[in-house]
Amino acid sequence: MSETTGQAIAEASSAVTSFSAKTAVGGSIAGLSGKFLGLDPVTALGLVIAIAGLLVSFMSFLINWYYKRQENKRADELHQIALRKANGECNVKD
């Protein structure tokens, strides 16, 4: 995966996380206002929105974790290659 692709994924994931946090807050506010005002449909809608926001946040966390793990694997492989090259174990010319 190229550097720009990784950056695009990180930016998209950040945008989704930001949106889901705002959605969860909005759903919580709608749910609380529905509960205090005695509006059952608003309470149910707020609860659904809040749960959806939390689900999107959790999925975004898993995606971030996966791609960060992949990035760390690639960085470790490049480091191992650099160490072999420094020790003269590779047939690579500068």
**Which pTM value belongs to this model?**
0.52
As a whole number, mean pLDDT of residues 18-30 equals: 72
As a whole number, mean pLDDT of residues 23-33 equals: 72
Q: What is the pLDDT of residue 70?
A: 92
Helix 40-86 vs helix 3-37: crossing angle, to nearest 10? 160
Q: Is the dihedral of CA 9, 62, 25, 44 positive or negative?
A: positive
Query: Could you tell me the residue ranges of all domains in the chain?
Result: 3-65
Q: What is the pLDDT of residues 38-89, one digit of tens each?
A: 767 777 777 778 888 888 888 888 998 999 999 999 999 999 988 888 888 7
